[in-house]
Amino acid sequence: MKRLLVLFALIGFIASVPIKYAYSLTPLAEKKIKEAKTCVHNVSVQEAKELIKNGAIVLDAREYPEYTAGHIPGAIWAPRGLIDFQGPTWFPDKNKTYLVYCKTGGRGVIVAYELKELGYDNVVNLDGGFNAWEKAGEPVEKGAPEGPGKGIKK
């Protein structure tokens, strides 16, 4: 009987722990994503690679643990919650090309939209986000950034 109670307690604990990096969309998030998708161009992994080759600045809109676990090589950590406050400070050249991504595309398209609203001319979102990048077998870099708005520590 005691083992059964321990087993149920363990199952309850495991069920209560959130799945790593799992997010459920609220109606507000769904609304923001839908609006952003009407204004932001999505690019494929192949198009993203070409943009990177031609000097696009790559912005990772995910959370810190996601960035450190793996990101597109050379990506700058630009968390979604800070871009509308810090974007112009972090990225003063509004004429450069910016490629934004997150895990699957939702947060990335919102960040791309916010940058466009801040006056950035050439902003695109990676369709399918980091998941699409990894699925395509593209290289991944790991490590902590120097800080928000900055790249990986060298």
pTM of the model: 0.80
CB contact burial 63-90 (16+ within 10 A = b; e otherwise): beebbeebbbeebbbbbbebbeeebeeb
Supply the range of the domain harboring residue 80.
26-135
**How many residues in the chain?**
154
Q: In angstroms, rounded to a whole number, what is the distance separating the alpha carbons of residues 110 and 49?
A: 21
For the ranges 15-24, 29-38, 65-74, the lowest mean pLDDT is seen at 15-24
Whether 5 maps to a domain, the answer reads no
State the pLDDT at residue 52: 98
Count up the domains in the chain and report the number.
1
Confidence of residue 59 (pLDDT cuts 50, 70, 90): very high
For the stretch 96-143, pLDDT in tens is 999 999 999 999 999 999 999 999 999 999 999 999 999 999 999 999
Separation in Å, CA 153 to CA 99, 102, 142, 147: 20, 20, 10, 9
Instruction: Report the CATH number at residue 131.
Output: 3.40.250.10
For the ranges 7-21, 47-61, 94-108, the lowest mean pLDDT is seen at 7-21
Q: Which residue has the higher pLDDT, 13 or 133?
A: 133
DSSP letter assigned to residue 122? E
Whether 88 maps to a domain, the answer reads yes
Residue 46 pLDDT exceeds 60: yes
Whether 47 maps to a domain, the answer reads yes
Residue 13 pLDDT exceeds 80: no
Q: Which residue has the higher pLDDT, 34 or 11?
A: 34
